[in-house]
Amino acid sequence: MKRLLRLTHPIHVVSGLVIWGLWFVAIYAGLSVACSVAPPESERDMLTGINVGVGLATLATTALLLWLSWASVAAGRKATLRRECYFAYLSAGVFLFSAGGTLFVGYPIVFLPPCL
Amino acid sequence: MSDDKDATLTPDIRHLHRGMAEVWANPRGLGALTVVNHTSVGLRFMVTGAVFFLIGGLLAMLIRTQLAFPDNDFMSNEIYNQVFTMHGTVMMFLFAIPILEGVAIYMIPKMIGARDLVCPRLSAFGYFCYLFGGIILVSSLLFEMAPSSGWFMYTPLSSGDYSPGRGSDFWLLGITFVEISALSAGVELVVSILRTRTEGMALHKMPLFAWYILAMALMIVVGFPPLILGSILLELERATGMPFFEVAGGGDPVLWAHLFWLFGHPEVYIIFLPGAGIVSTLIPVFARRPIVGYGWVVAAIVIMGFVSFGLWVHHMFTLGIPQLALAFFSASSMLVAIPTGIQIFVWLSTLWLGRPVMALPMLWVAGFLVIFVLGGLTGVMLALVPFNWQVHDTHFVVAHMHYVLVGGMLFPLIAGLYYWLPLISGRMPSERLGRWSFWLIFLGFNTTFLVMHWTGLLGMRRRVFTYDSAMGWDLYNLISSVGGFMMSAGVALLILDVALHFRFGRKAPQNPWNADGLEWAMPKPPTPYNFVSLPRLETRHPLWDDPALPRTIDEGRHGLNTIDHGRRETWGSDALTGKPREVVHLPTNSWWPFFAALALAVVCLCLLARLYPLAGVATLVAAVLLLRWSWENGAHPRAAPDPTVAPGQPPLHSRTLNGPGVWAMSVSHLANGSLYLSLLFGWFYLWTVAPEWRMPETSPLSLPLLAAAGIALTLGTAWLAGLVRRLDRRNDTGLAGGLYLVAGLGGLQSALLGLAIWQAPLAPTETAHDATLLVALVYVLIHALLGGLLCLLQGLRVGYGYVGAEAPMEPVVVLRLWYYNLVVYWTLLVSVWLLPTLLGGTS
């Protein structure tokens, strides 16, 4: 099990995208439930708890993914086996993409109200 | 070259070839129905898929004939609805997916140095499910009872009120049946790629095609269950009146759209990925250099596999979803262009840096690049919400879809056909006929669909059966129809070329394209056992690095080069390193897959005819056949009673605790889990969104009964885990008794759960709440029964000596099911009892 946590393990080629996927489901489901249960007043535009909540989740997820990307590069540098080095750098790239993807998909909270 | 008559081989090696041929022999005549070998089953998939392609193509020509002129009365609107629905359905479900699975089933073992897929009988079972399901679905056309609600069967149009005939039932039951085939292929492709690569083929050294198929197979495993669930729910609604998609009963038709597109969008990438895999295989061969950026392609495949699951709502932009949510999906739709772009630049860079040869397969790859890039560009346009609203449901969308699917799948498929044809037949195709065919199809396709973008922008809706001349669409439609017939002529020429080459094609040399892939080290046409000895490989380009490989393989100089044991064998290797861990003994030819699929076909037909008692009997027969099939496993006399292996070889997989069977069970639970999560999604979706959803004040379910059932399940799982831990220490004392006890606990759980369902005052035909609850409870009840039954059979197998300290794998496989049941049961209880009780009975 400990082996799986090392960033040189190939499981991390997908773990960044799993985090992205969980974040994506969370913001879409959270938005839908929040709009159904407690929709904010329409005149508040983007200054709503929903936008702030989605924004914070987006920033936190992006930060986590960026850190994982950096940690994967570090793990790749330390790796002794070529296979481990390969998967660490590959994972670093996918973490970086996932971080960019999180920020890009979450960005519309800046200019769109949540429930219209 | 690889046969027992090859005079250049020593008598010992000729004996080895003879032995292999006997053990791997395919029976003829009626016995051909028992064949399980991947080469035969893969070919059957491909040929059957090609037949369905011709049927789908014929339907397309009927559509184009009808639309060629305004106010045309070639077809009535009812027939037209059936024709376009069946065109889409046949092409997506009976052609595209199965033929690509056929290519993967045929090619993957040959490319990774295995002798067969890991579950050959499952391959055969999948094929028969596909064949029978396809025949049932297509037969609806002959009865003029074909589905007519479009290939995505939106409710309420496909529901009982608006489609009272049998058409929707044909679709729902037939497609679900066919999807059994897709899932079984998905599971075994994943396990085969991860666990049966030849010695030394580490994960980062396997062919790119295997990466693509691994991603495709995992996407099938996760992506198909939402549609299977949706089809079951819609069929239940149509047959019994459970109102899952009916607003008045607390359901919501948009739930169908979600379930369909949760499958439907990944489906596009499931179709594209193998096509891209063919392109990534062919381009380095014809550019005569290794691919530029292997790692970039792997990253792009993985990213595409994930991100494609985050796009499904872009098919639902006009359904009234909040704009912010639309923006999320719009952004992720644009995001998927990045991995696609990476691949295109990798292909172009490889061509740029190589010395390309424009052989026939490359011509089709070039056609793919042009058409797919155009389809990708209109895809980015459609990802933009305002533009999407403007062209929604117009011929612009039809044109885009065909550019992506025909460009992304058909052109690479034909490229692959021409590339691997010499391997299949041992003969070369005709360059001249092939080029004529290419240009007719390429020009015909663009004439049809490039013009169709304009027809759509001018406002022509898709699915209209005719139009008025005053709309100004006449010329565009006529041009599209002419292009369609030109494309058909190209397809006819392609068929002619392939048919003639078997007779007149010149003999293919050993490696006709100077390719690097291991498949070209095989005899042509391939023997059922692929390789007489399995080489150790530590390179991505085996034939470029060792051109003598075909000869040394044929001379039996590599691994697993004995046959006196009489077993069909291949390596079971470590998923990461490719180091052999077990010798996998593969099952031989069998009637069980055929009869099990036949019984399921009877279930399907009985449900269509609404003969429910008979359907119940047929289901029982199918279950008995499947269980009887599973009996011939492990240490059974017909599997591998003798555990002896050659000195220095790892043990047989059934004598270990982590054989491919354990992996197959885990991957199957990915599919099962996807179905369960889709059900939970349906429950929470209806609870949150459906306007008439009625949550009762107090739960209709008895907590004591449910809790007692859960305790029985938990105790059973813990006990079984203890038995497996002891097996790990090679201790099987009290194993049979323990398994019977666990079976008893499974039976107790089933009885308590059954009682809870029976006692609950549910009205499943009145409210969506009760209907969804009932389906969820029946789902866990079926799993509880299965868990108990499998433990009972395991207990019996211990008595027969098929399971024990020396053959410990099967209880590990069953334990995976119990773990799954445990997680599902308690999470379901939280979702359907605890949360409604805590949050109160409001809608």
What per-residue confidence (pLDDT) applies to B117? 95
If pLDDT is split at 50, 70 and 90, which confidence band does B5 have?
low
Arithmetic mean of pLDDT, B110-131: 95
Helix/strand/coil (H/E/C) assignment for every residue in B383-434:
HCHHHHHHHCCEHHHHHHHHHHHHHHHHHHHHHHHHHHHHHHHCECCCHHHH
Chain B residue numbers touching A40 (CB-CB < 8 A)? none
Chain B residue numbers touching A18 (CB-CB < 8 A)? 306
| Binary contact (A87, B204; C-beta < 8 A) | yes
What per-residue confidence (pLDDT) applies to B841? 61
Report the share of chain B in percent with pLDDT over 70: 99
pLDDT of B809 > 70? The answer is: yes
Task: Please list the helix, strand and coil fractions of chain A in percent, rounded to the nearest 5, in that order.
Answer: 80, 0, 20
Rounded to two decimals, the pTM is: 0.95
**Which residues of chain A have a Cβ shorter than 8 Å from any chain B Cβ?**
10, 13-14, 17-18, 20-21, 24, 27-29, 31-33, 35-37, 51, 83, 86-87, 89-90, 93-94, 97, 101, 104-109, 112-116
Q: What is the pLDDT of residues A40-63, one digit of tens each?
A: 887 778 888 899 999 999 999 999
Residue of B252, B308, B324 to mutate for A, most A C-beta atoms under 10 A: B324
- Which residues, listed in sequence order, are joined to residue B582 by a DSSP beta bridge? B572
Report the share of chain B in percent with pLDDT over 90: 87
If pLDDT is split at 50, 70 and 90, which confidence band does A38 have?
confident
Query: Is the dihedral angle over the CA atoms B687, B688, B689, B692 positive or is it negative?
Result: positive
Q: Nearest C-alpha of chain A: how many angstroms from B299?
A: 6
Alpha carbon distances (Å) from B176 to A43, A48, B170, B664: 47, 44, 10, 21
By CA distance, what is B330's nearest residue in A? A105
Q: From its phi and psi, is residue B734 left (phi > 0), alpha (psi between -120 and 50) or beta?
A: left
Q: Nearest C-alpha of chain B: how many angstroms from A72?
A: 14
| Binary contact (A105, B338; C-beta < 8 A) | no
Q: Nearest C-alpha of chain A: how many angstroms from B321?
A: 8
Arithmetic mean of pLDDT, B117-127: 95
| Binary contact (A21, B310; C-beta < 8 A) | yes
Q: What is the pLDDT of residues B247-306, one digit of tens each?
A: 999 999 999 999 999 999 999 999 999 999 999 999 999 999 999 999 999 999 999 999
Counted across chains A and B, CB pairs separated by less than 8 A come out at: 88
If pLDDT is split at 50, 70 and 90, which confidence band does A39 have?
confident
Between CA B429 and CA B414 the distance in angstroms is 12
Arithmetic mean of pLDDT, A11-35: 92
Between CA B627 and CA B790 the distance in angstroms is 9
Chain A residue numbers touching B306 (CB-CB < 8 A)? 14, 17-18, 20-21
Nearest to A104 among B322, B331, B689 (CB): B331
Q: Nearest C-alpha of chain B: how many angstroms from A48?
A: 13
Six-digit token string for B785: 């029964």
What per-residue confidence (pLDDT) applies to B664? 94
For residue B542, cis peptide bond before it (omega within 30 degrees of 0): no
| Binary contact (B306, A13; C-beta < 8 A) | no
| Binary contact (B309, A21; C-beta < 8 A) | yes
| Binary contact (B688, A36; C-beta < 8 A) | yes
The set of residues, in sequence order, having a beta carbon less than 8 Å from that of B472 and lying 6+ positions away, is B458
Chain A residue numbers touching B338 (CB-CB < 8 A)? 97
B181 and B129 in contact (C-beta within 8 Å)? yes
| Binary contact (A32, B689; C-beta < 8 A) | yes
**Residue among B748, B742, B721, B735 nearest B797 (CA):** B735
Helix B323-335 × helix A82-106 angle, to 10°: 150
SS3 at position B185: helix
The dihedrals phi and psi of B75, each to the nearest 5 degrees, come to: -135, 150
pLDDT of B1 > 50? The answer is: no
Beta strands, E only, B481-573: 568-573
| Binary contact (A114, B322; C-beta < 8 A) | yes
Between CA B57 and CA B138 the distance in angstroms is 13
Burial bucket for residue B715 (CB in 10 Å: 0-12, 13-18, 19+): middle
Residue of B303, B538, B681 to mutate for A, most A C-beta atoms under 10 A: B303
Q: Nearest C-alpha of chain B: how many angstroms from A57?
A: 14
Arithmetic mean of pLDDT, B389-408: 95
Q: Nearest C-alpha of chain B: how many angstroms from A109?
A: 7
**Residue among B588, B609, B592 nearest B529 (CA):** B588
| Binary contact (B688, A90; C-beta < 8 A) | no
Six-digit token string for B34: 């028992």
Which DSSP state fits B247?
G
Q: Nearest C-alpha of chain A: how many angstroms from B302?
A: 7
| Binary contact (A24, B306; C-beta < 8 A) | no
What per-residue confidence (pLDDT) applies to A36? 83
| Binary contact (A83, B310; C-beta < 8 A) | no
If pLDDT is split at 50, 70 and 90, which confidence band does B843 have?
very low
What per-residue confidence (pLDDT) applies to B3? 58
Six-digit token string for A66: 């960026």
Q: What is the pLDDT of residues B614-667, one digit of tens each?
A: 999 999 999 999 999 999 888 888 887 778 888 888 999 989 998 899 999 999
B538 and B546 in contact (C-beta within 8 Å)? no
| Binary contact (B322, A115; C-beta < 8 A) | yes
By CA distance, what is B297's nearest residue in A? A90
pLDDT of B29 > 60? The answer is: yes
Q: Nearest C-alpha of chain A: how many angstroms from B798?
A: 31
Interface pTM, i.e. ipTM: 0.93
If pLDDT is split at 50, 70 and 90, which confidence band does B519 have?
very high
Between CA B412 and CA B274 the distance in angstroms is 9
The set of residues, in sequence order, having a beta carbon less than 8 Å from that of B832 and lying 6+ positions away, is B683, B699, B701, B773, B776, B777
Q: What is the pLDDT of residues B132-151, one digit of tens each?
A: 999 999 999 998 899 999 99
What per-residue confidence (pLDDT) applies to B51? 97
Q: Nearest C-alpha of chain A: how many angstroms from B579?
A: 13
Q: From its phi and psi, is residue B113 left (phi > 0), alpha (psi between -120 and 50) or beta?
A: left
Chain A residue numbers touching B324 (CB-CB < 8 A)? 31, 51, 108-109, 112-116
Chain B residue numbers touching A107 (CB-CB < 8 A)? 331
Q: Nearest C-alpha of chain A: how many angstroms from B105?
A: 25
Nearest to B324 among A17, A24, A114 (CB): A114
Go through the domains of chain B in sequence order and give each one's CATH number: 366-508 (no CATH), 694-843 (1.20.120.80)
Q: Nearest C-alpha of chain B: how many angstroms from A102?
A: 9
Mean pLDDT is lowest, of A92-101, B212-221, B325-334, for: B325-334
Chain A residue numbers touching B328 (CB-CB < 8 A)? 24, 27-28, 31, 105-106, 108
| Binary contact (A83, B307; C-beta < 8 A) | no
**Residue among B290, B287, B294 nearest B210 (CA):** B294
Between CA B49 and CA B51 the distance in angstroms is 5
**Residue among A100, A86, A93, A92 nearest A72 (CA):** A92
pLDDT of B169 > 80? The answer is: yes
**Which residues of chain B have a Cβ shorter than 8 Å from any chain A Cβ?**
202-204, 295-296, 298-299, 302-303, 306-307, 309-310, 322-325, 327-328, 331-332, 334-335, 338, 576-577, 684, 688-689
What per-residue confidence (pLDDT) applies to B610? 92
